[in-house]
Amino acid sequence: MTRTHFDVVVVGAGPAGSAAALALARAGRSVCLVERGPFPGSKNMYGGVIYGRVLDTVIPDWYERAPLQRWVTRRATMVMTPTQSLTVDYRTTAWGTAPYNGATAYRPDFDAWLAGEAVAAGATLITSTTVTGLVRDGRGRVTGVRTDRPDGDIDAEVVIACDGVNSFLAKEAGLHRHADDPRHLTLGVKEVVSLDPTVIEERFGLATGEGADFEIIGCTRGIAGGGFVYTNHDSVALGVVLRLSDLAEAGVRPEELIADLAAHPAIAPLVAGGELREYSAHVIPEGGFDTMPELGCPGMLVAGDAAYFCLGAGLWLEGVNFAIGGGLAAGEAAHRALERGRTDDTMVADYRRRLGASFVLTDHENLRRAPELVLSDRVQFRYPALVCDLVESVFTVTNPEPKPGLVRLARRAARRHGVPLRHLARDAWRALRTYG
């Protein structure tokens, strides 16, 4: 790299950073995208399903060009105990055709592709380079970044920090109030097992090229969290997401929980014979709206997981689309600020306004109570067993005894699991308010 001054430096070539760089390059700005890995995506992992429609406006034919594995046409939500499971299993052909819904993808492929789009639009990508800190002027305004490269600092009018959940830059700028609080962070751990594509399609009941997404609750012993199973072209990803504060106390190793999941009667037949290809782990910011940091300061904006944009709301675990949406908004706000010659607090206010007008902050604000509800003790540790027992008793034929009424069975199950009916009713109301 010979050039050391750009309009904007974007730190981190994950989905947020590449989207920001793409927006800026398209607007004609000089933008440098700095990534510590040898290529974009090389250090990144997730579940994972990508909801790419956020790209419609910037890459209209993304669904033909992005390196995707399978279009998800089967979406199941499962509650389980070690010996039982109940599944709401939704299938549709609508998601298997344009404009599409979610698709599985490998992050090294997807992130490298999105960064490539930014480069094609004119961004400068620098890999194998770690940003080690911020450069500021005498009044504290951010004016660039320090790197571990021999040729050192990069100056910029604006720095956009897209350096992921542990964002050292957002912390250095003093933007986080909840950084590193283990109650708001989960650890995602996953295994990828290789299986023949036709075996995957047979076992999951899929047509060629179609995929499945299973979200699971009740599979994490005494740790708040959940599990997932996703189908790629020739592999299946299965994993768990565990609240860090619980994990630290429980003294359980995450791989034991994945082994439990892989051995569960509802999951074992799906992954039997699969050969372990990869094991990985990554922290997820799941605290939602109330745990987000300040979104910037003079000379700097924060986007993606660095700003806790990932949405972990039980029914949804979406981070890539929120990262892209946030990155695009950051790029547009930085461009507008440069036009106005005001990269101060007005830039941050404009960025916030743009996010507020998009799904990124709107969804988070609407669902701000979801993380607390989803990770609450009753939802995590009592309801899965209660629901499974209730359904088991409904389907158990007790002849010669006549069938007991449903209300009686519900009362009995609630009593057995120590949940007064009024608490059930209150949680149902809370759920309606949370998701309504």
Ligand X SMILES: Cc1cc2nc3c(=O)[nH]c(=O)nc-3n(C[C@H](O)[C@H](O)[C@H](O)COP(=O)(O)OP(=O)(O)OC[C@H]3O[C@@H](n4cnc5c(N)ncnc54)[C@H](O)[C@@H]3O)c2cc1C
Please report, as ranges, the residues that interact with ligand X according to CB under 6 A: 11-17, 34-37, 43-44, 46-50, 130-131, 162-164, 168, 188, 190, 239, 241, 282, 284, 304-306, 310, 317-321, 323
Tell me how far, at minimum, the Cβ of 36 lies from ligand X, in Å. Answer: 4
Q: Would you state the structure tokens that stand for residue 64, as one six-digit string?
A: 């033909």
Query: Shortest Cβ distance from residue 155 to ligand X (Å)?
Result: 16
**Smallest separation, CB 131 to ligand X (Å):** 4
Question: In terms of CB distance, is 16 or 409 closer to ligand X?
Answer: 16
Q: Minimum CB separation from ligand X for residue 150, in Å?
A: 16
User: What type of residue sits at position 403?
Assistant: K
Please say which residue, 161 or 385, places its beta carbon nearer to ligand X: 161
Q: Return the amino acid letter for 348.
A: V
Q: Of 188 and 299, which CB lies nearer to ligand X in the complex structure? A: 188
Question: Least Å distance between CB 414 and ligand X?
Answer: 33
Q: Give the helix ranges, DSSP H, for 27-77.
A: 62-65
CA gap 324, 299 in Å, rounded: 21
Cβ contacts of 120-124, under 8 Å, gap ≥ 24: 121/22, 121/25, 121/26, 122/25, 122/26, 122/28, 122/31, 123/10, 123/21, 123/22, 123/24, 123/25, 123/31, 123/32, 123/33, 124/1, 124/3, 124/6, 124/30, 124/31, 124/32, 124/33
Nearer to ligand X, 328 or 347 (CB): 328
Instruction: Give me the amino acid identity at 239.
Output: G
Query: Smallest distance, Å, CB 39 to ligand X?
Result: 9
Residue, CB closest to ligand X:
319
Give the span between the Cα atoms of 326 and 356, in whole angstroms.
Answer: 10
Contact between 222 and 249 under an 8 Å Cβ cutoff? The reply is no
Minimum distance of ligand X from residue 415's CB (angstroms): 36
**Helix (H/G/I), strand (E/B), else coil: 428:** helix
Give whichever of 239 and 385 is closer to ligand X, judged by the CB atom: 239
Q: Which two tokens stand for residue 173?
A: 């700028």
Report, in Å, the least distance between residue 202 CB and ligand X.
24
3-class DSSP state of 406? helix
Instruction: Indicate the residue among 183 and 378 with the shorter CB distance to ligand X.
Output: 183
**Nearer residue to ligand X within complex by CB, 123 or 387:** 123
Instruction: Name the residue nearer to ligand X (CB basis): 215 or 389.
Output: 215
Residue 225 C-beta: closest distance to ligand X, Å: 10
Task: Work out how close the CB of 148 gets to ligand X at its nearest, in angstroms, rounded to a whole number.
Answer: 9
Nearer to ligand X, 15 or 296 (CB): 15
Report cis status (omega within 30 of 0) of the bond before 400. Answer: yes
CA distance 14 to 163: 8
Q: Which is nearer to ligand X, 84 or 147 (CB)?
A: 147
Contact of 335 with 27, CB cutoff 8 Å: yes
Angle (CA) 165-131-338 rounded to 5° is 90
Q: What angle do CA 45, 250, 316 make, to 5 degrees?
A: 40
